[in-house]
A = this chain, B = another copy of it.
Amino acid sequence: MTAQRRVVAEVLDGDHVHLTADEVHARAVAKLPEISRATVYNTLGELVSLGEVLEVATDKRAKRYDPNAHRPHHHLVCAQCGAIKDVHPTGNPLSDLPTSERFGYTVSDVEVTYRGLCPDCTAA
C-alpha cells in the first residue's frame, strides 16, 4: 500500500461514485500533487482485477470506475448532465430472455441502464 494507491482508494470512497480515470487523477492530484496518470490507470486496473472496483460504460466516452462492487446493482443516468445513481430494480431480467431469443449463447450476466432526467435537469 503506497501513498499513491491510498489516494486513489480515498478518491473512490462513497456512494453513487462513478468517476472517469481523468476525474480520479484530478482529485488524486489535489491530495498528492505529483501522482502520474499512468499510476492512476495502473491502480484502477489492479482494483478492477481484484474485484474491488467495477468498470461501467454508462456513456460512450470514458469508462467510469465504481467502488460499489459488492452489491449487484444497475444504473440510472441523466441524459442531460450525466449524473449517475445506483439502482436496484426488482425482478430478474435474465428470466425475461426466452430460450428462443438466446441464439445458443450461454447467458451469464445482464446490465441495465435507465435513462432520463435528474430533478435539476427536469426543472431547468
Interface residues of A in 23-60 (CB under 8 A from B): 55, 57, 59-60
The reply to whether A89 and B85 form a contact with Cβ atoms under 8 Å apart is no
**Oligomeric state, in number of copies?**
2
The reply to whether A106 and B116 form a contact with Cβ atoms under 8 Å apart is yes
Contact A96:B91 (CB < 8 A) given known A110-B114, A116-B106: yes
Interface residues of A in 67-96 (CB under 8 A from B): 76, 78-79, 85, 87-91, 93-94, 96
| Secondary structure class of chain A's binding surface, majority of residues | mixed
Bound complex: CA A104 to CA B85 (Å) = 11
Contact A89:B78 (CB < 8 A) given known A110-B112, A116-B109: no
Bound complex: CA A119 to CA B103 (Å) = 8
Interface residues of A in 95-110 (CB under 8 A from B): 96-98, 101-110
The reply to whether B89 and A106 form a contact with Cβ atoms under 8 Å apart is no
